[in-house]
Structure 1
Amino acid sequence: MKKVIYIWLVKLVSRWKRVKNPQDIVYLMSFAGNEHLIKAFADLAKQLGRNFTVLYLPQCQAAATRLAAEGIQTVEFTDGFDFVFHKLQLVMQARLLLCDNYYAFLSGCAFDHQQTHIVQLWHANGAIKTFGWEELTTARRSAADKRRFQKVYDQFDEYLIGSKKMAQVFVQSYHVPQTRMNVIGYPRTDELFNKNWQMQVSQNIKRKHPDIIGKEIILYTPTYRENEVGKPVMNFSEDFGQFVNQLSGNQRLIIKFHPHVKSFEKQFKQQLDSDKVIWVDDFSTNDLLLVADRLITDYSSVIFDYSLLPNAKQILFYCYDYDQYAQRVGIQADFKSWIPGKMVTTTSDLIKEVQQPLEATDFTEFNQLWNTANDGHATERVLQTELKYIQK
């Protein structure tokens, strides 16, 4: 009932705050990592004499601080009365509204789609987990919840994506028409093609962590997990310590948690106290991909980025809880048919794989499927595409 009242309030206030001829550009940020695109839109807005605002959720504070330091207007928000009565107006003033996620409040916003163009950028370059209508919990939701979900999905006039494969996922997951899909490239991947960035970041990592130089680096990025009540959890398999113990003298393991479970890091640092394990707190997962010879993950979208890098050699899928995860969270039905690496479900099998000589994987077929339009120039195409809506 609270959600119903809140969305009703959003609808009422959004009608009140809606302007006749909106001019602003607004970016809704729930994930960091797309700052390159944000800066590009900020520059474009400045050239056109338009206001540009980043509305960000609290978990993006660090990224927002960096953007603010460059003169970009950033405003923190969370759902609540303060947002509805003070910050919703910023959304309703948008000629172009860029979103990186599902935002529930959008279901109540009374947009004039002839005046406001709403774009879904998403926060991942591909999909392993199910979401939207494909998410297993959706079937158990009430009819009112389902109607509210679809209202959000329907608000997006355009989905900017990097492949027809991702378009297919959105069409199925959000029940929206294929005509809204724009396979233009995923802007966040542009950085992955930047040779200067690759060299600078990898050198910085090695300078600050010289113990990785000359070693075979294995990066482990377990995905974000929640318990039954939706709170973040982080569990290693019970015998994961055996894997650490079996690493060779020339191998080093970097473990990087999802930002939402960072609070668990201290516990596991104590549990996995080994000179073969390196904890890197001063670089992002995206940065660490640049020094990884092998990537171990499970259901994380990091694979879609890693496969584009020149140093990428091997991906191993350590899915020790595959059946449980598939039944509780949901995994894309064809996952096993296109993963670009071996899937193992036991620690002993993971040990066997890592003890094998490292051989480079050819990611061409995988990238043709998921990274079709990602070539390092997506941002340029996105700006050009959205310019016509800004100048409308």
Structure 2
Amino acid sequence: MVKELLIDGYLFLFKVLFNVCKFFSLKEKVVFVCSYTDNSQYVYDELTRREEKTDVVFLCRGKAACDHFAETGERVVPIETMRVGAMVRSAYHLATAKVIVIDNYFGFLAAAAFKKPVVCIQLWHACGAFKTFGLEDHSVALRTVRARKRFLNVYRHFDKIVVGSDAMQEIFKQSFGLDESHFIHLGIPRTDLFFDLNREKQAEKSLHRLSSGKKLLLYAPTFRDPPMHQLALNLEVMKKELASDYVLILRLHPLEQKEVDRTIFRDPFIMDGSKWENVNELLLITDLLITDYSSIPFEFALLKRPMIFFPYDLHHYEKSRGLRENYTDMVPGPIASSTQELVHMIKEHRFDEQKTAQFSEYWNQYSKGQSSRHVVDYLFDCLRK
């Protein structure tokens, strides 16, 4: 109840500020509202390559996103904060921009009634989904009627949603309660990286420098709430069985990094994957991916490299968090239930390359290396209207 009151208070104040700012005229301005960095960065890079001068503002959730986009030299404003100055500036930029690009759920949308020419584009932060979200998230049933109405109001502000496949479009339709008119098949901008031969060559050089010629395993488990206190993967077994041929990279959520004993990274067999801000650049140097319910496999599949799924808490996770369809049928690689089983799969190379290729085509249908260009073309069309 207290949380709902705080949210209502924030949204009321934001609505007042936003409605005042609507008295200012619209500008040919693109406002990126970011909780992540990669998709927006790719679109921004393409914008700056064009000869046309475009007014750009970044409204960022979290210090990491603010620090990242500050390096562009553009205006950066924190969003979803009770700092009055930041709230006023964010309300002004949202009320005066012709195009707004968002990459997640942002509650302020429930309080923002945009002028008619304004287009709000959802550039979601994942190419596919094993987990349920939006209206299909199991936790929604536990929320108040008022909260559920707020969710629907936010989703209705998504004028257009960029998708990389028809499969993801169907998921969005169910998760956001929107019809087909809201979707544009432009592909996911950050996947352009996987079609960049120069970046791939740079990654190969980094690989040899980091691993001394050994292959790189990446373990990137999904964040769990509450955060896991210890790894389900037995690092001692992994080292004993695989250290002669592999180096293991651990990529954990920032909240879970705090729970892990940092001394493990003194071992030359184990590397800290949190050093890479862009996870896709890390994927470029990865020979084999180990994960569970993360969205990483949907992009990693573009590289046509092997992956193993280690959903050690599958039944509990499915019941508490929610998974789409039959998880064991969806994943494009073998499923291990223990570290020892995972090791055997790696040693025996139990992978189906054709299944990975089919998985990639299914989820990356429109992501063919030109997505950033297609998205920017669409942005300019919106600005000129």
TM-score by shorter chain over 0.5: yes
Q: CA deviation at 1:40?
A: 2.1
Equivalent residue in structure 2 for 1:369, among 347, 359, 362:
362
Question: What do residues 189-228 of structure 1 show as CA deviations (whole Å, max 9, x unaligned)?
Answer: 1111100011113313433x2xx1332221111111221x
In 2: Cα distance, 1:198 partner to 1:77 partner: 35
What is the match of residue 33 of structure 1? 38
What is the match of residue 204 of structure 1? 206
Q: CA deviation at 1:110?
A: 1.8
Q: Percent same amino acid at aligned positions? A: 25
In 1: Cα distance, 2:168 partner to 2:218 partner: 25
CA gap of 1:50–1:281, structure 2 versus 1, over 3 A, is: closer
In 2: Cα distance, 1:271 partner to 1:282 partner: 15
Q: Match for 1:286: what amino acid?
A: N
Q: Match for 2:300: what amino acid?
A: Y
Matched-pair contact (CA < 8 Å) for 1:32–1:63: yes
Q: CA deviation at 1:359?
A: 5.4
SS of aligned partner of 2:128: coil
In 1: Cα distance, 2:239 partner to 2:320 partner: 28
CA gap of 1:264–1:67, structure 2 versus 1, over 3 A, is: farther
352-361 or 28-37, which moves further after superposition?
A: 352-361
Q: Match for 1:118: what amino acid?
A: C
Q: CA deviation at 1:245?
A: 2.8
Equivalent residue in structure 1 for 2:171, among 138, 159, 169:
169
Matched-pair contact (CA < 8 Å) for 1:202–1:287: no
What is the match of residue 350 of structure 1? 342
Matches for 1:1-392 after TM superposition, within 5 Å: 1-18=5-22, 19-34=24-39, 35-42=41-48, 44=50, 47=52, 49-57=53-61, 58-68=63-73, 72-82=74-84, 83-112=86-115, 114-207=116-209, 209=210, 212-227=211-226, 232-233=227-228, 235-237=230-232, 239-265=234-260, 267=261, 269-271=262-264, 274-280=267-273, 282-283=275-276, 284-309=278-303, 312-357=304-349, 361-362=353-354, 363-392=356-385
CA-based RMSD of the aligned residues comes to 2.2
Question: What do residues 112-145 of structure 1 show as CA deviations (whole Å, max 9, x unaligned)?
Answer: 2x22100000111111211111111001100000
In 1: Cα distance, 2:93 partner to 2:7 partner: 21
Q: Match for 1:193: what amino acid?
A: F
Matched-pair contact (CA < 8 Å) for 1:191–1:376: yes
In 2: Cα distance, 1:50 partner to 1:117 partner: 16
Q: Match for 1:301: what amino acid?
A: S
Q: Match for 1:369: what amino acid?
A: Y
Q: Match for 2:219: what amino acid?
A: Y
Q: Match for 2:314: what amino acid?
A: Y
Structure 1: unaligned runs, 5 residues or longer: none
Question: What do residues 261-289 of structure 1 show as CA deviations (whole Å, max 9, x unaligned)?
Answer: 44345x1x325764322335543432221
Q: CA deviation at 1:90?
A: 1.0
SS of aligned partner of 1:344: coil
Matched residue count: 375
In 2: Cα distance, 1:318 partner to 1:20 partner: 53
SS of aligned partner of 2:147: helix
Q: Match for 2:216: what amino acid?
A: I
In 1: Cα distance, 2:334 partner to 2:204 partner: 26
Matched-pair contact (CA < 8 Å) for 2:203–2:285: no
Q: CA deviation at 1:79?
A: 2.5
Matched-pair contact (CA < 8 Å) for 1:22–1:116: no
Q: Match for 2:132: what amino acid?
A: T
Matched-pair contact (CA < 8 Å) for 1:313–1:359: no
Matched-pair contact (CA < 8 Å) for 1:163–1:370: yes
